[in-house]
């Protein structure tokens, strides 16, 4: 476990917010997670570059929050966890392009695009994550995904610099994109002119569909498993009789079987036990091994501070 003194050099000159031994359950969509040794909120892109460079030089782990597909274990995360919530600027460029910083929320970006009469993000209606998280995981729904509108990505590199990579030069896959080393700090999106009424009607219709079919009102982290070839993970889980199945306060959503929800006091250990049961039961029934879409990070047990025990 890292102590405050371990971050003195890394955080020298850092202008953003810093919280030590910070519980992560308050900043994850599942409302689950042990403490981060240091939770930082950079003031701007320069602050991110500063932190990325110093953490790389000191070989201190640095993790960025942003996506909703995250389960933080009960022991928390060692090193530095970074939130980009202050990087939320959005601007329109020439033509039908929009630039957004990585901390901008996807609902805000979709609303901004609609205000500019630009279509292409309606597929994201109801997705609560950030632009950076959506880029990193190539977020998507049945209507589309990030690569459909992504034009370029801006990253803070380990040497403290900034680079821009065209989306055409990146390799995309289902809920994944191969990115250079570094931290996504922004994205440029190529959208399509359309009437605001058309955009808002389309987004409203899809959001209503999602509200009817997914547990949007309960703490969740989006789809748990990737859809296997020629099948839907949710259907396989439902056919295995697992809808509503619980381990502690972790539950397979009765509304959509490929969502796990936190009924109030679920721990990461509960979620992991439930995930293991789902994978075992579905494999036993169908021979299909469900692959996690969630990212699982952190330690199983609470860290022991130096000089204790």
Catalytic residue IDs: 175, 223, 293
Query: Which tokens is 65 given?
Result: 């929050």
Rounded to whole angstroms, the Cα distance separating 131 from 155 reads 13
Helix (H) or strand (E) holding 279: helix 268-286
> Could you tell me which of 73, 31, 72, 33 has the C-alpha nearest to residue 220?
31
Assess contact for 202 and 122: CB atoms under 8 A: yes
Helix pair 106-115, 196-213: axis angle to 10 deg: 150
Torsion over CA: 139, 143, 190, 95 (sign): negative
Which residue(s) pair with 119 in the sheet?
A: 192
């Amino acid at each position: 476990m890292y102590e405050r003194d371990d971050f003195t050099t890394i955080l020298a000159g850092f202008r953003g917010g810093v919280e030590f031994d910070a519980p992560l359950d308050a900043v994850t969509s599942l409302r689950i997670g042990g403490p981060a040794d240091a939770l930082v909120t950079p003031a701007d892109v320069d602050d991110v570059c500063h932190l990325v460079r110093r953490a790389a030089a000191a070989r201190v782990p640095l993790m960025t929050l942003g996506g909703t597909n995250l389960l933080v274990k009960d022991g928390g995360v060692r090193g530095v966890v970074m939130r980009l919530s202050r990087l939320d600027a959005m601007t329109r460029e020439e033509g039908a392009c929009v630039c957004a910083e990585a901390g901008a929320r996807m609902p805000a970006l979709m609303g901004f695009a609609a205000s500019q009469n630009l279509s292409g993000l309606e597929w994201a209606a109801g997705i609560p994550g950030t632009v950076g998280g959506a880029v990193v995981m190539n977020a998507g729904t049945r209507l589309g995904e990030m690569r459909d509108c992504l034009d370029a990505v801006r990253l803070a590199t380990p040497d403290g610099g900034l680079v821009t990579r065209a989306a055409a030069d990146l390799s995309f896959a289902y809920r994944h994109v191969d990115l250079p080393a570094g931290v996504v700090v922004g994205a440029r999106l190529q959208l399509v002119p359309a009437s605001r009424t058309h955009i808002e009607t389309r987004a409203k219709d899809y959001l209503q569909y999602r509200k009817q079919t997914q547990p949007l009102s309960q703490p969740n982290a989006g789809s748990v498993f990737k859809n296997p070839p020629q099948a839907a993970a949710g259907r396989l889980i439902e056919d295995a009789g697992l809808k509503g199945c619980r381990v502690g306060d972790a539950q397979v959503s009765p509304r959509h079987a490929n969502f796990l929800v936190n009924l109030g006091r679920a721990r990461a250990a509960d979620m992991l036990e439930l995930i293991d049961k789902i994978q075992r039961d579905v494999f036993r029934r169908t021979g299909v091994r469900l692959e996690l879409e969630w990212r699982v990070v952190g330690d199983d047990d609470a860290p022991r501070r130096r000089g204790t025990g």
